[in-house]
Amino acid sequence: MNSEDLEIGKRCQNISVEAGRLRAFTLVELLVAIAIISMLMAILMPALSGVRRQATALLGMRNQREVANAVNLFAMDNDDLYPQSVATVGVEDSWNWREPTQMAGEKSRSPQLHRSMSAYLHSYIASAKTVSCPGAPQPYKYLQESWDAGDDWDNPDTDPRSDPVGGTFCFYWNYTGYVGGPRAVFKGPRGPASGGTQSQLLISDYLGYGYWRSPENFTSCERLAKADILEEYYLAPALWATKGDPNAVMPKIKLRAAYTDGHVETYTPSDVVPMRIAMTPEGVPPFPDEGASKGIFYIPRHALP
């Protein structure tokens, strides 16, 4: 190796060393970079969270609109009548109402009726996600399986029997509840042309108080402030739950509801009416607030006819 080659080798070595020095970060520079990244994340996270909430809200509105379209299509094929409500318990003339979140009952009221909502609507709604609120903590474990099974649903985690299934939306077609006051009774629509004493409300997000699984709490499918997750029960999906007093303060969330004409509206808990489950088919009296209470379900005030 001649002197010229040695000189070139030294220069290459110096360049490599210098490049290594240029690539290296000092501790101060690294801390500054971390601080800048942390500040950017602090600025961006609320915005990203807001985008996520908005996306979930839009998906919930889409689901409710599709359910409204499905029951209207059902009515077109069935003498302009909506499906019967499955939110009942009992048979023949001896029965009462259950939670409007019910998607399948323990048994049908009569041989002419279905115990499962999907037995009426499966040909119009194939995916069970459509009848579920996307704001809930997580979907019901057997949501699709129970929807596909219809009247034959039997939860594999329980003894052989016809298990009920609860949902995260409230379904109001052909449903009757107690609201008190001069109207006394809420009557859900029987068909697209319902009027008079019947409401136009078909479906809404669930918001309630005093739910049997979480007494003295607000519960909802939409996330409540400082809420805990009310874990899934074999009869019902997971919900959000938070302490509160309905006589003092209502949660600050946005809810959605769909109507017989297919449109979906947004409303807040400041514009709701408490509805209680009725002990008779006629809608009165309601279950008492104590003891056998089934809880309060809040419906949009302007949904009353």
Write out pLDDT tens, residues 73-83. Answer: 999 999 999 99
Q: Is 287 in a helix, a strand, or coil?
A: coil
Tell me, what's the pLDDT at 135?
Answer: 96
Write out pLDDT tens, residues 74-114. Answer: 999 999 999 999 999 999 989 999 999 999 998 899 999 99
Write out pLDDT tens, residues 221-238. Answer: 999 999 999 999 988 999
User: β-strands 102-104, 176-180: how paired?
Assistant: unpaired
Tell me, what's the pLDDT at 294?
Answer: 83
Q: Is 271 in a helix, a strand, or coil?
A: helix
Tell me, what's the pLDDT at 23?
Answer: 58
Question: Under a CB-based contact definition with an 8 Å cutoff, are residues 230 and 239 in contact?
Answer: yes
Tell me, what's the pLDDT at 290?
Answer: 74
Question: How far apart are the C-alpha atoms of 28 and 30, rounded to whole Å?
Answer: 5
Helices (H), 78-122: 117-121
Which segments of the chain have a pLDDT < 70?
A: 1-25, 44-51, 291-292
Two tokens, residue 187: 């009557």
CA torsion through residues 106, 125, 52, 300, sign: negative
Question: How far apart are the C-alpha atoms of 158 and 162, rounded to whole Å?
Answer: 10
What is the reported pTM? 0.84
Q: Please identify which residue in the block is written with the tokens 């009221």.
A: 109
